[in-house]
Amino acid sequence: MTEQATARPRPRKSPARRAARAPRRATKAPIKSGLPAPAATSEATPARRAGDRTLLGSETLEQVDRAANAAMAKATMGMSPVAVAMKVFDWAAHLAASPGKQFQLAEKAARKAARFGRYAASAVVNPDTPLCIEPLAQDRRFAHPGWRRFPFNVLHQSFLLNQQWWHAATTGVRGVSKRNEEAVSFMARQVLDMMSPSNVPFLNPEIIEATARDGGANLMRGGLNFLEDLRRNARNDKPAGTDAYKVGENMAVTPGKVVFRNRLMELIQYEPTTPTVQREPILMLSAWMMKYYILDLSQHNSMVKYLVDRGHTVFMISWMNPGSEDRDLGMEDYRTHGIMAALDAISDILPDRKIHAVGYCLGGILLTIAAATMARDGDDRLASVTLFTTLTNFTEVGEMGVLMDTAQIIYLEDMMWQRGYLAPEQASGGFRMLRSRDLIWSKMMREYFLGEREPVFDLMAWNADGTRMPYRQHSELLRHFYRDNELFNGRYRVGGKRIAISDIHVPIFAVAASRDHVAPWHSVFKLHLQSDADELVFVLSKGGHNVGVIAEPGNPRRAYQMSTYHEGDPIPDPDTWEVETPVTEGSWWPAWQAWLSRLSSGEVPAPPMGAPAKGYKPLCDAPGTYVHQQ
């Protein structure tokens, strides 16, 4: 199906708005970025001098370096050995120069050894001996009753004491940079998690009991699970159990039409289910490294369906899945041919209406950039901005910071160079490392030695349906945001001029998740420090990066905290806010939907699909074609 041309521009409200919008119209022309390529920076490519002479040429030798790094990255799971060595040396050198810290660690080791000795001597004869150290609340590796029996109790207590000592050894060393300290502590934890006695089948009482009870059938089931996973990985198939979920059949089934398409995205308009709707439509955009239908999963937890059923006109951006030919697409391409092209189309389909814009994760970063640029250029089409688990301040990104120094960024760029994109398995591998205890080792023990497959639900099936990220865009994201924090510091440029979050004055609704390891909620909260919005609502939802957002009403495990601040109000620190803000049981969705309705200007008859007379005829049914790209 051919791409749809943009309709004839409608009259603008001001010269500033006309100037801001004119270059953003989507066309059939191939998307080409106008930004300098990341590889041209001084950190990635040394400056060429006229007097340089090499046998093969500097460009050729640079390709050799890139190829070597790319090959090594396959064995190191994307971690740069040089970056790791530099961090470890920083820690080790400062520890070697800190006799006080060494004495403290020796004293801790002696005390822990004495405590463990007393416990072990008592536990041999008394299985009810109180534990000398309790696992953390989120650590479920030793929850099985068998770990309370000898000798398994002694094994796991020894491991936990050793783990606690290593935490003390890798933190609080004077002179070590904060980022290096976090990296070394993270790496030590990764090694310890791998060496846990729970990962050794003949030391794990749960596996021993299951093997005795089932006569080894659990090991046979686990072996079959392992072989099936090998086969699926070799064929690049999705994980076992996800076959029961199919896009357009039992996921992403809210009725709608694709009303606009360019090379970068499809714009879906959902069919109304009420005779009247709120006048202001909603535009939703997810991260381009995820399929959009996380916001339209199953019938019971579809955010799109929830909004449509309550009288909102909803549009959705569905990103294309880039390939090698799209390696040079950057953030500016996604802004102009993505969100701005969608806003232009909606403004033509439903003229003279402001728009509620919603961004999820990286989509929220893109929305923040677009909103700040629109504010700078006098474009007043936004009625509000909603951000789901979105970082705007990258000073503290938690364990993600392990991957964000210059050496590691260049290593990741070289890993992407040959193919021209970050593959979904590379991205998911990095996220699994952040939670290796649960997502790698415990999962391996459960599926391959207990022979128990984890039940697959819709969110897991969506998570396995990953997309790629263009080389250039990923490099820009790491350099400009995670490393240099340009957006929060007011140094990020669009069209050659700086933008500022403080220029956004429309109401903002920001949602963070309490157990988010991708966008830590303390960092998300720092939006308060930069925002001059007329109204800023902040919600802390119970759950992780995705579960905290897909928090549908009726789920008994949902809860949230919410506050509202206006321009000029004093802002507490995050920990004080958490203590003082009451917890509300249930989903935050109704509060958000009521907020959107309050900001709307009344109800109007439900609109038709698209606007054929203006060139926006429906192209196909939702979920469209781009969502099926593999």
As annotated, the active-site residues are: 361
C-alpha angle 525/541/554, rounded to 5°? 160
**Parallel, antiparallel, or unpaired for β 265-270 and 256-261?**
antiparallel
Q: Is 398 helix (H, G, I), strand (E, B) or coil?
A: helix
Q: Is 226 helix (H, G, I), strand (E, B) or coil?
A: helix
Element (H, E) at 368: helix 362-377
Computed over its alpha carbons, how large is the radius of gyration of the chain? Answer: 27
Instruction: In whole angstroms, give the CA distance from residue 523 to residue 538.
Output: 12
Buried b (16+ CB within 10 A) or exposed e, 331-347: bbbbbbbbbbbbbbbbb
Tokens 């990255």 belong to: 73
The letter for the amino acid at 611 is A
Q: What are phi and psi of 232, to 5 degrees?
A: -65, -40
Q: Is 433 helix (H, G, I), strand (E, B) or coil?
A: helix
Task: Retrieve residue 224's tokens.
Answer: 């079959």
Instruction: In whole angstroms, give the CA distance from residue 223 to residue 203.
Output: 19
- What are the helix and strand counts (H, E) for the chain? 23, 17
Q: Is 129 helix (H, G, I), strand (E, B) or coil?
A: coil
- Short-list 538, 525, 531, CA closest to 567: 531
Cα dihedral 407, 408, 410, 412, rounded to 10, equals: 170
Extended beta strands in 218-339, E state:
256-261, 265-270, 276-278, 282-285, 314-319
User: Could you report how far apart the first and last alpha carbons of the chain are, in Å?
Assistant: 18
- Short-list 254, 257, 259, 255, CA closest to 346: 259
Task: Retrieve residue 467's tokens.
Answer: 């997309």
**Parallel, antiparallel, or unpaired for β 508-513 and 382-388?**
parallel
Instruction: In whole angstroms, give the CA distance from residue 359 to residue 287.
Output: 8
